């Protein structure tokens, strides 16, 4: 599988898109600091140092980083988690 990483208009957010469906249905899922989700992949992403919040919908996950973190430090870790789950 391959993950496509795209910048968003928000410099603190990156979109990670999979060729496979990650979340079924038409509901989006957001996880904010201090919250958990029924989706283990989102919970694991929230545990990464530097992640502020995550948003998932169908084929993609948008990760928002904390201000003091650089994408160079975080992108590979996010891809590793997503790939671990088979996407």
Say which CATH number the domain at 35 has: 3.30.1370.70
- What gap in Å lies between CA 76 and CA 83, rounded to an integer? 10
In this predicted structure, the answer to whether residue 1 has a pLDDT above a threshold of 70 is: no
Q: Return mean pLDDT, the chain.
A: 97
Domain of residue 77, residue span:
3-84
Domain count, the chain: 1
Residues 6, 17 contacting (CB under 8 angstroms): yes
Per-residue pLDDT tens over the stretch 9-68: 999 999 999 999 999 999 999 999 999 999 999 999 999 999 999 999 999 999 999 999
């Amino acid at each position: 599988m391959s993950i496509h990483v795209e910048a968003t208009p928000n410099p603190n957010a990156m979109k990670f898109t999979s060729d496979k469906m990650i979340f079924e249905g038409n509901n989006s899922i957001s996880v904010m600091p201090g919250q958990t989700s029924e989706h283990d992949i989102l919970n694991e992403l929230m545990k990464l140092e530097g992640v502020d919040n995550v948003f998932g919908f169908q084929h993609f996950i948008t990760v928002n980083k904390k201000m003091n973190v650089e994408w160079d430090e975080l992108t590979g870790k996010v891809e590793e988690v997503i790939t671990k789950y088979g996407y």
